[in-house]
Structure 1
Amino acid sequence: MKGGFYGLRGRELSLITIVLMCTAFLFWAWEKTPPLTNLTPPETRLRLSPDDLVSKPVASLLSPKSKGVSSFAEKVIEQVAAPLISSQKSTERSVIKSNPVNTTDRNVEILASLSEEEAKGKQIQEPQTYVGAQGPTIRTEVEGNHNKMIEQVSEQLEVDMVAQVTIENRDCNYAKGKWVPDDNRPLYSGFGCKQWLSGMWACRLMQRTDFAYEKLRWQPKNCQMEEFEGSKFLRKMQGKTLAFVGDSLGRQQFQSLMCMITGGEERHDVIDAGKEYGLVQARGDTRPSGWVYRFLSTNTTILYYWSASLCDVEPIDKSNPNTDYAMHLDRPPAFLRQYLHKFDVLVLNTGHHWNRGKLKANKWVMHVGGVQNTDRKLAMIWVAKNLTIHSVVNWVNSQLPKHPGLKAFYRTISPRHFVGGDWNTGGSCDNTIPMSVGKEVLQDESSDESAASAVKGTGIKLLDITALSHLRDEGHISRFSRTANPGVQDCLHWCLPGVPDTWNEILFAQI
């Protein structure tokens, strides 16, 4: 009996131990995975996703998989959506579902329970659950306003979208597009702007009678160009200096910009600051080598320096008034070397003075390495021009690390439209209906291959105006020039207001 007793007690202890272990396991399993919740049909479980937080147009912006999703949108997901989704898991464990409930309605209930602080990223408090005859009802201890949160998110996303468009426009190819009529043009009066505009380029003061060319605006393809405003330009350039260095087309762009900033109106708060740059009219000269104007209201300086070849030119014999001039193909202009540190925006150009006639008339002699050139291949005009363009661009690029705030541009060549000859052989440009009608510029590469190749791989940006200007053959001064001899037309320079205004609009968009 005694042995049987102890044997029975051993079996009982084993059974009791097994029961206790199973009970403990069941309690542990119940706590971790409530059976009722897991038995709820999947379609009735609460799902809280970013798409349910806001209306569909805004929700699409919140998806990280969306094209072009911004850092702000990602932050919204992290600070708003993620905590809500995390809280959803906790809510699912606490809700007893006896009847199917519409998922979207459920999500709105949870969203309505958020306070303003929680909407900014804090964890949602655990909701209390009550089971009634009509099914589960969710209530939280915190009252909130989900509409206010949605409105705040939407407003911030709208701001971010504007910033995103600005970033996309920075990558815009402004050289692609078409000319469109615009009754809001021109940006200044062709009768006015006498304070800045040379009379020889003011076609309204000449015998010309058709002015449709003033009513065209350049529309880039697939992007918007910021509308030019003089006050906005001055704010952007407050305390800064913009310098044009180049030939007479560069001077036209300079005068165009002065007219655009002022709207052609006379300004008494603009002073001549030429002395600071040595740009004063010397005795015997018909004009100075450049002009410098400063807007006192914003301390903005706009200057132009005449450098037709964009290389350093100096007299070979300074004591001889009839001396030839050395044009150093591999050396930037002395003015540029001396004053580059004072510039914040630099626009370079050259092109139309690179011909035998100009070199002979100006008494320019090619020099390389400080000595007269003897290389026949380099003596070819187009080769010499390319060497100069590459040399000055490379030099400016080498200076950018010393002047991190400098934005430098090389403007491509302005096209000529002589038909039936050149400027001195009967060439003309009498069109009044522009060739731009019905045409678009769709090419990705610049028409000025020399300029494009020079800036490639450098920090210098290309101000590409060649192809778009080529479509505007009716915008030249043509036969109405004040200074030309009879039968001689100017199919190189432009009427102002006119095409160079667009060059400045594109420049403004890229500054």
Structure 2
Amino acid sequence: MNSKLIKVFPSWKWGIKRALHSLEALLILILLILIHQTIVDDDGDWRLTSGGRRGNNGSDETEVKEHGKLKSCDLFSGKWVYDNVSYPIYKEQDCSFVNDQLACQKFGRGDLDYQHWRWQPHRCDLPRFNGEKMLEKLRGKRMVFVGDSLNRNQWSSMVCLVQSFIPPTLQSVHVNGNFITFNAIEYNATIAFYWSPLLVESNSDDPINHRIADRIVRIDSIEKHAANWADSDILVFNSYLWWKRATLKVSWETFEKSNGTYEEIEMLRCFEMAIKTWSTWLQSHIHRTKTRLFFVSLSPTHNRAEEWGKPPTQKCTNETDPIFRDGYWGLDSDPRMMRIVEDAIIDLQSKGLNIEILNITQLSEYRKDGHPSLYGKKWGPPEELANPIRFADCTHWCLPGVPDVWNQLLYAYLFL
């Protein structure tokens, strides 16, 4: 025992001192027992065993322990590890749902290292995506991704991850209005994407003709969209990039009845009101035990090459490695918007809704190498086609690639 601690007690109180020695011995014994029961894995991650019993791989005991470990682990804090043995999970040429905008290999990208990076959380392992298990989870169910082209990017990834487990004759895809729907017939499962880039109604709601400079939103109206996915079992939302301007015009009437009078509102306030409309609708219409809800945090862009020491005009072109600077955060990513979403989700959780944030932002911030850049089909006007570097796509993501990890995170949440 520390001598300074002993001096606190007068010498005549030898009985107390003796008791303290006994207590010290007991504490040492307890500490030795805990050390015996505790092991440290290779990553420095502590695991408590039960009397040294581990169970066989694949046993219920092991699975319960792994689930418990995942629940206490921050899946979004980690690093990218190069793994050309087990990744990618699928090949670009084997998935018919990699559209030409995302088909970087098809359009001439020779460096394929972007396909081989695995996300490694600091204190646990992210479960490998099992397409067959995912399809069983979706049997008789409907999953809908609702949002913009980044959510369509994630939808494409999800379909690619499960497609190889379904015979070609037992799968189908249909396009109807704002919907693209993939059906796994044998499983009676649906994986759909619904175009709604601002979640609420806007003049950018057409799934094809939505490049409109003068953006107008109806921030108090969502029913037109929501009626299409109200009966879903799993809903995955996103909305971010289409809000990125100083102000937006707001219409308080239907577009059909509008007389051309609009109110111009600062973007952040506008976004906050739209999220309130979205969350209010969920409270009133979503089945609290049937439907699982997810909101995917902002997907970062990499248009500022000067942030990682390259010429500003380069954007994300010729990038072949991630950013390895821990905590890197691009200037174009606005955390204020995600705090608005987070506050809304905390409120929804308090009201009994089963909703989570998929916090993909930080892990995606590191991946300046993962965008199509020059390698993908371009549909822009002549000035864009004539200046490919200036208009390089540093917003969307090549497939296979980063969105596969987003779906691994979604997969982990669904099986927790």
TM-score relative to the length of structure 2: 0.70
Where does residue 437 of structure 1 map in the other structure? 324
Q: 1:419 to 1:325 in 2, by over 3 A?
A: closer
State the partner residue of 1:111: none
| Partner in structure 2 of residue 220 of structure 1 | 121
- Which of the numbers 268, 279, 292 marks the counterpart of 1:407? 292
* Shift in alpha-carbon separation, 1:251–1:226, aligned structure 2, 3 A: same
1:121-136 map, 5 Å: none
Q: CA deviation at 1:234?
A: 0.4
**Which of the numbers 290, 314, 323 marks the counterpart of 2:179?**
290
Q: Which amino acid counterpart does residue 405 of structure 1 have in structure 2?
A: K
- Shift of residue 389, structure 1, vs aligned partner: 2.2
Find the partner of 2:400 among 486, 489, 497: 497
Q: CA, structure 1 residues 407+265, in 2 after alignment: closer, same or farther (shift >3 Å)?
A: closer
The answer on 1:456 being equivalent to 2:343 is no
User: 2:190 aligned to 301, 304, 314, which one?
Assistant: 301
Per-residue displacement from partner, 1:316-338 (whole Å, max 9, x unpaired)? Answer: xxxxxx9x996321232523234
The corresponding residue for 2:221 is: 331
Which residue in 2 is equivalent to 1:188? 90
CA–CA distance in structure 1, aligned partners of residues 348 and 253 of structure 2? 23
Confirm or deny: 8 A CA contact 1:176 1:440 kept in the other structure. no
Deviations 1:207-244 (Å, cap 9, x if unpaired)? Answer: 21111110001111212222101111101111111100
Which residue number corresponds to residue 118 of structure 1? none
Counterpart pick for 2:302 among 409, 412, 417: 417
For 2:219 and 2:102, locate their aligned partners in 1 and report how far apart those are by CA, in whole Å: 31
Change (3 A) 1:266 1:159: closer
Cα contact 2:305–2:316 (8 A) shared by 1: no
Matches of 2:187 and 2:297, distance apart in 1: 30
CA contact (8 A) 1:193 1:264 kept: no
Matching residue of 1:471: 366
Partner of 2:92, secondary structure, is coil
* 1:165 aligned residue: 66
Distance 2:225 2:413 in 1: 25
Q: Distance in 2 between matches of 1:202 and 1:358?
A: 34
Give the CA deviation at 1:358. Answer: 11
Give the match for residue 344 of structure 1.
Answer: 233
Number of equivalenced pairs: 336
Equivalence map 1:255-274=2 (5 Å): 255-263=156-164, 267-272=168-173, 274=174
**Structure 2: distance between partners of 1:456 and 1:387:** 16
Residue in 2 that maps onto 1:485 = 385
Change (3 A) 1:472 1:333: farther
C-alpha separation in 1, matches of 2:188 and 2:371 = 34
Cα gap change, 1:174 to 1:397, in 2 (>3 Å): farther
Deviation at 1:355, TM superposition (A): 3.9
**Which secondary structure state, in structure 2, belongs to the residue aligned with residue 258 of structure 1?**
helix
Amino acid in structure 2 at the alignment position of 1:331: S
Amino acid at match of 1:305: Y
The one-character-per-residue Cα deviations of 1:250-305 (angstroms, maximum 9, x if unpaired) are: 11111111111124987221123x4xxxx52xxxxxxx422111111211110000
Shift of the 161–325 alpha-carbon distance from structure 1 to 2, 3 Å rule, reads closer
Q: Does structure 2 retain, via aligned residues, the 8 Å contact 1:242–1:344?
A: yes
Structure 2 vs 1, CA of residues 437 and 325 (structure 1 numbering), >3 Å: closer, same or farther?
closer
Cα 1:333/1:411, change in 2 over 3 Å:
farther
Identical-residue share of aligned pairs (%): 26
Pair 1:258–1:161, CA change in 2 (3 A): closer
Q: Deviations over 1:131-153 (max 9, x none)?
A: xxxxxxxxxxxxxxxxxxx99x9
Alignment of 1:225-240 (within 5 A): 225-240=126-141
Distance change (3 Å), C-alpha of 1:235 and 1:380 = same
Decide whether the 8 Å contact of 1:185 with 1:215 is kept in 2. Answer: yes
- Please say if residues 481 and 489 of structure 1, whose CA atoms lie closer than 8 Å, have aligned partners that are also in contact: no
Q: Could you tell me whether the CA contact under 8 Å between 1:477 and 1:491 is conserved in 2?
A: yes
Provide closer, same or farther for how the CA distance between residues 186 and 385 of structure 1 changes in structure 2, counting only shifts above 3 A: same
Q: Distance in 2 between matches of 1:218 and 1:154?
A: 26
Change in CA separation of 1:495 and 1:266 when aligned onto 2, cut-off 3 Å? farther
User: Helix, strand or coil for the counterpart of 1:291?
Assistant: strand
Q: CA deviation at 1:434?
A: 2.6
Distance 2:247 2:148 in 1: 12
Q: Computing the radius of gyration over CA atoms, which structure comes out larger, 1 or 2?
A: 1
Q: Using the alignment, how far apart are the partners of 1:219 and 1:469 within structure 2?
A: 13
Does the 8 Å CA contact 1:431/1:473 hold for their aligned counterparts? no
- Residue of structure 1 in register with 2:112 after alignment: 211
> Shift of the alpha carbon at 1:456?
1.9
Alignment gaps of 5+ in structure 2:
1-32, 39-45, 205-211, 307-311, 350-354, 379-383
1:391 aligns with 2:277: yes
Tell me, what secondary structure is at the counterpart of 2:400? coil
Task: Look up the match of 1:79.
Answer: none
Q: Deviations over 1:26-82 (max 9, x none)?
A: xxxxxxxxxxxxxxxxxxxxxxxxxxxxxx99x959xxxxx9999xx8xxxxxxxxx
- The answer to whether the 8 A contact 1:311-1:388 is kept is yes
Give 3-state SS (helix, strand or coil) of 2:150's partner.
helix
The residue that corresponds to 2:209 in the other structure is: none
AA aligned to 1:510 is Y
Deviation for aligned residue 1:435: 3.6
- Alpha-carbon shift at residue 356 of structure 1 (Å): 4.7
- State the one-letter code of the partner of 1:185: Y
Change (3 A) 1:394 1:204: same
Greater RCO structure (CA 8 Å; 6+ sep): 2
CA distance in 2, matches of 1:212, 1:154: 37
How far apart, CA to CA, are the structure 2 residues paired with 1:162 and 1:264?
23
Question: Structure 1: which amino acid aligns with 2:239?
Answer: T
Q: CA deviation at 1:388?
A: 1.1
DSSP 3-state at the match of 1:204: coil
List aligned pairs for 1:91-130, cutoff 5 A: none
